[in-house]
Every structure is written in C-alpha cells, then in structure tokens.
Amino acid sequence: MRAAVLQSLSEPAPNGHPAVEIAAKLGLTPATVVTLVEELRLLGYEIEGGPVGYRLTGRPDLLLPEEVQNGLKTVACGRQMVHFPTVGSTNDAARTLARAGAVHGTLVVAETQTKGRGRLGRTWVSPAGAGLWLSLVIRPEAETAVTPLITLVTAVGAVRAIAAVTGLPARIKWPNDIELEGKKVGGILTEAATSGHRLDYAVVGIGLNVNVEEEDFPPELRATATSLRAGLGRRIDRAALVRELLRQLEDLYTALFDHGAAAVLTEWRQLSSTLGREVRVITAQGDLTGRAVDIDTDGALLVATEGGTIVRVTAGEVSLRYQPT
C-alpha cells in the first residue's frame, strides 16, 4: 500500500493531497495513510505539509521497489523484489530466497555490498548508491549445460539496456565482462543450483558501475575500471536502467529457453570485443595464446593457436587477457 500512497502523492494537486482523500481512494483509514507517509519520509521521500494536504517534492535516488516497479514493463523479472540498503552479496541473498522457493524473476537489489563477489573468489567493489548491484533468480526448464549461455545472454541484455538508456556503446569481453572504451564497467556472476543434469535454479548477479566516480574505486582499479557516468558525462537514472535491464533480460531469457541460443549468439558476436583479438587464456594448467575466432553453441570460446589448431575454452576456471596489438 506504500507504493499506492506514493502513486497518489505523485499525481498533480495544486492544494496538496489530504490524507482523507488518499484514504478514501485506496480504501484505507486516514491514520494508515499518515503512517505510510511517515514511512516514505523515512525512506527519503520529501513530502511537505501534513494530513490536511501532503505535497511530494523529492524522490530519493534509491532502488526501492516503489521506484523500480513504477513503470516496469515485465511479467516476471522484478515483479517480486527485495531491496537492501546494505547486504553481504546480493547473489547470496538471492540464493537464500531461491532455496526458500522464490519464484522465477525474483530480484534482489542492494545500494551497497560488503562482500560483493566476482568469479574465482575475487572481490567486487560496490560503492553505495552508485551502481546496480543486483541478482535475479531464474528457474528455466533447462539442462545445467545452459549455465554459460545464461551469462552470455545476460551480457547482451546489459549492453542493450546501456545503449537504450544512455546511448553508450558498451561491448562484451568473454565470458562475463561489460566494457566501455576498453575498461570494465560491469561484470556478471552466474551461479547454478542443479538436480542431476537439470537446472534447479540459477542466480544471475549483475554489477554495473553506473554513477561511480573515479575516486570511489580503490586505486588499483582506477586504470582498468570505468562507469557509465564517466562515459556519458552526467548522472544516470539508476531505476530507469534497472527497468530497461529487466525488460531486456525477460525477452532474452524467453528467446534462449524457448527458441535456443542461435539468435542470441549472433547478437553476442556483434557486441563482443573479444572475437578477432589476440588473447591469452590463463588456466590453472598453464596459459594459452592465440586468436579468438568464434563462440561455440554452448558458449565456449574458440581460440586458434599459432599452430593452427582450434582450442575450445570453457569459462569455468579461466581468465582472459587481451594481448597488446
């Protein structure tokens, strides 16, 4: 009902909105409306006046359900959502919810993470209020082998959403990086729970540096990390970006799970910064260098070595570096 009160307050009213009017419209008591207005104030909404006439004068830059779901055009993605001012890792919180039965499309968002994770035990830096640090629970009817494709498809969704909201031409570095002008602007961490060969659910974690300023990054990341704000030269509406991301992901997951990977992989190839590049693949067993020539139907990278052999590289335990050209 808090969202409904906010919706009422958002409508134009030259003399403000009396609590009794909102109450009558929503079938609440005026006292409940007063309580909900107080809650909205505590969350950061600027609401002037009192019960005789409330006026909404400012909205917080927070990814509250009231903001994200206001104008959301999806059926499943983000329809159920949990917002944390701070959390260890949204992937961990989403997994806890998934274990307890959270439905397909459940979204977990945090303003900041204290234990944000990358792949291979790496740390993900998540400055407060400045990025998208979020996870989606997805429950497709699929084999576990689809997991690497979920990451690739999610990257396509992120690039599409960035283009739609900012016009910036982000690219994808295999397997899970989103890049802007050669620097890392985001990353994806997909974690699957399996029952035999079937996927029980997957938690798709997405980190995007939206309004992060250079000094918010630790010094060691400043040369390699960037933000959409740095690329665009102005702040970006994070809630609008989440909505667009959810819309794109809903379409892309439907395409992947109902129609197969071919169409999405064609788009991935066009958005990839990796194909055609000289790469070094770093694995626990040693390094491999060659030219990245294509992506396989299961999401593996195909690398042509100097001897002309094509080697399949799966995302699992590897890192990828571009070789200087």
Binding site residues, ligand BT5, CB under 6 A: 89-91, 113, 116-120, 122-125, 133-135, 176-177, 184, 187-189, 205-207, 209, 221, 225
Q: Which is nearer to ligand BT5, 69 or 226 (CB)?
A: 226
CB of 153 to ligand BT5, least distance (A): 15
**Distance from C-alpha of 19 to C-alpha of 50, rounded to nearest angstrom:** 8
Three-state secondary structure readout of the chain = CHHHHHHHHHCCCCCCECHHHHHHHHCCCHHHHHHHHHHHHHHCCEEEEECCEEEEEECCCCCCHHHHCCCCCCCCCCCCEEEEEEECCHHHHHHHHHHCCCCCCCEEEEEEECCCECHHHCECCCCCCCEEEEEEEECCCCEHHHHHHHHHHHHHHHHHHHHHHHCCCCEEECCCEEEECCEEEEEEEEEEEEECCEEEEEEEEEEEECCCCHHHCCHHHCCCECCHHHHHCCCCCHHHHHHHHHHHHHHHHHHHHHHCCHHHHHHHHHHECCCCCEEEEEECCEEEEEEEEEECCCCCEEEECCCCCEEEECCCCCEEEECCC
CB of 110 to ligand BT5, least distance (A): 8
CB of 324 to ligand BT5, least distance (A): 19
CB of 282 to ligand BT5, least distance (A): 12
CB of 132 to ligand BT5, least distance (A): 8
Q: Taking Cα atoms as reference points, which of 316, 321, 307 lies closest to residue 285?
A: 316
CB of 261 to ligand BT5, least distance (A): 21
Q: Taking Cα atoms as reference points, which of 184, 180, 71 lies closest to residue 122?
A: 184
Q: Which is nearer to ligand BT5, 33 or 102 (CB)?
A: 102
Q: Which is nearer to ligand BT5, 89 or 248 (CB)?
A: 89
Residue nearest to ligand BT5 (CB): 187
Q: Which is nearer to ligand BT5, 146 or 188 (CB)?
A: 188
Q: Which is nearer to ligand BT5, 18 or 187 (CB)?
A: 187
Q: Which is nearer to ligand BT5, 109 or 265 (CB)?
A: 109
CB of 8 to ligand BT5, least distance (A): 33
**Distance from C-alpha of 289 to C-alpha of 50, rounded to nearest angstrom:** 68
Q: Which is nearer to ligand BT5, 206 or 252 (CB)?
A: 206
| φ/ψ of residue 49, rounded to 5 | 85, -175
Q: Which is nearer to ligand BT5, 63 or 189 (CB)?
A: 189
CB of 7 to ligand BT5, least distance (A): 29
